[in-house]
Chains A and B, each alone.
Chain A
Amino acid sequence: MNTITGSGALPYVGAAYAAFFVLIFLYAWRLTSATRRLSERVEELERENRSAPR
């Protein structure tokens, strides 16, 4: 087997941790931006519904 030992494994360890934080960051960023966009839309619709004649 072509295994990687010693300091040769360092880039792989770095890549694994980088992958972890990039994926977490992208997911959290997508959720927070969706939450902000939806909150604005809720406010907008509530305003519209309040001002619309019944």
Chain B
Amino acid sequence: MVDAIQRWLLRLAPIPVLALVLLSLIAIFFWVPTDAGLGLSQRIFYYHVPAATSCFIAFAGGGIGSALYLYTRRPVWDHAAHAFVSVGMLFATIVLVTGAIWARTAWGTWWTWDSRLTTFLLLWLVYASYLLLRTLTRDNEMGPRYAAVLCIVGALNVPLVMLATRLFRTIHPQVINNPQGGISDPRMVTTLMLSMAAEIALMLWLWALCVSTLRLGERVNLLSEESYRRSVPS
């Protein structure tokens, strides 16, 4: 199933992804009105929020893939989970960078130990340790199992990050599902939805590309072992 989805995405995704990204940029810079309160800097939000959504989806996908790997022990699920974490980390880094830039304009500081920011940084660190673990246990057959457990622990942290603005005191804006201060202009909502579709599509295409690289890496390892066995007389 993973193979079919990955091949389908690699073949069909590039053109729709490019079209969605271009459309979202046109909407952000030429169509959507400027926010009365936050001004120009609010436009960062149209790529910051979808990047956060994409990384949450990727980390959730990684958790599901890891659980399926632990249950079935089929490498295809391990590759799917590894690729989801790799792509999720890219989008999580984008969230941290764009968030820091926005914070400088709105709060006058690049970083503050707010509950949403702190829980998100913890999530980023958990998945950074996942990628480090994958690198360090490359030749260890238990590596994927340890990594799968860590990935599930990280995925369990995702709801905490998402609910941090409701559970704890925070200065982080709550723009979605917030009757007091969320976005209400239909053009803003449409632009956000367009950017959301563009980034989720981009995330899925990069995931397919990453799965393909991981599978090729595994094939190289298998062929190298075969080649070595043939070269050494038994």
Interface residues of A (CB under 8 A from B): 1-7, 9-10, 12-13, 15-17, 19-20, 23-24, 27-28, 31-32, 34-35, 38-39, 41-42, 45-46, 48-49, 52-54
Q: Mark B40-70, 1 if CB is under 8 A from A, else 0.
A: 1101100110010000000000000000000
Per DSSP, are chain A's interface residues mostly helix, strand or loop, or mixed? helix
| Chain A to chain B: the 10 pairs with minimum beta-carbon distance, closest first | A2-B108, A45-B223, A38-B216, A9-B41, A1-B108, A9-B40, A4-B105, A16-B98, A16-B44, A16-B101
Per DSSP, are chain B's interface residues mostly helix, strand or loop, or mixed? helix
Asked if B206 is at the interface (CB within 8 A of a chain A CB), the reply is yes
List 5 A-B pairs, Cβ < 8 Å: A4-B41, A12-B105, A16-B102, A20-B97, A31-B213
Q: Which residue of A lies closest to B89 (CB)?
A: A27
Given A2-B108, A12-B102, A49-B230, A23–B94 Cβ distance below 8 Å?
Answer: yes
Q: Which residue of A lies closest to B208 (CB)?
A: A31
A32 CB to nearest B CB, Å? 7
A38 CB to nearest B CB, Å? 4
Give the number of A-B contacts (CB < 8 Å).
104
Contact residues in B for A17 (Cβ distance below 8 Å): 44, 47
Contact residues in B for A13 (Cβ distance below 8 Å): 40-41, 43-44
Contact residues in B for A48 (Cβ distance below 8 Å): 227
Decide: A31 and B105 in contact? CB cutoff 8 A. Answer: no
Decide: B206 and A20 in contact? CB cutoff 8 A. Answer: no
Asked if B107 is at the interface (CB within 8 A of a chain A CB), the reply is yes
Residue from B98, B105, B230 in contact with A20 in the complex, judged by beta carbons closer than 8 Å: B98
